[in-house]
């Protein structure tokens, strides 16, 4: 299965893919109306809101998850952004969270 290279959302259906370029596939949430990849800040904020609303995690914990998640993704490895600097989950904590 394909995953969004900017937020790791599973791209189960073709309509979830909003953009494909040299970096890979991007989901509809990571691309704006002009077909530009959103800023790191916007994608980070969206991810944090997701974990707060869907999983009821406290804000600081949600931020640590999203920061770790985005740091591991190919797009942000190629486009390092200051917004991903800060506290994040360890590899161990991250693995535990997603291998339930
Ligand atoms: Zn995405």
Distances (CA, A) of 25 to 22, 57, 77, 86, 89: 9, 28, 15, 26, 25
Does 4 fall in a domain? no
Note the pLDDT tens digit of each residue in 17-41: 999 999 999 999 999 999 999 999 9
CA of 65 to the centre of ligand 1 (A): 15
Predicted local confidence at residue 98, as pLDDT: 80
Does 79 fall in a domain? yes
Does 1 fall in a domain? no
Please provide the DSSP assignment of 36-79 as one string. Answer: -BPPHHHHHHHHHHHHHHHH---HHHHHHHHHHHHHHSHHHHHS
Q: Which long-range contacts (CB under 8 A, 24 or more apart) does 47-51 make?
A: 47/7
Does 61 fall in a domain? yes
Q: How far apart are CA 18 and CA 44, in angstroms?
A: 18
Q: How many domains does the chain have?
A: 1
Does 8 fall in a domain? no
Does 55 fall in a domain? yes
Res. 11: pLDDT tops 80? yes
CA of 29 to the centre of ligand 1 (A): 5
CA of 25 to the centre of ligand 1 (A): 8
Does 5 fall in a domain? no
Domain span at 28: 14-98
Q: How far apart are CA 91 and CA 28, in angstroms?
A: 28
């Amino acid at each position: 299965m394909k995953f969004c290279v900017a937020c790791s959302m599973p791209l189960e259906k073709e309509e979830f893919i909003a953009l494909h370029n040299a970096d890979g596939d991007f989901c509809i949430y990571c691309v704006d109306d002009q077909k530009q990849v959103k800023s790191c800040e916007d994608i980070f904020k969206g991810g944090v809101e997701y974990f707060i609303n869907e999983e009821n995690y406290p804000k600081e914990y949600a931020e640590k998850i999203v920061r770790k998640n985005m740091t591991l993704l190919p797009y942000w490895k190629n486009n390092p952004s200051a917004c991903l600097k800060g506290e994040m989950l360890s590899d161990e904590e991250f693995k535990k969270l997603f291998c339930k």
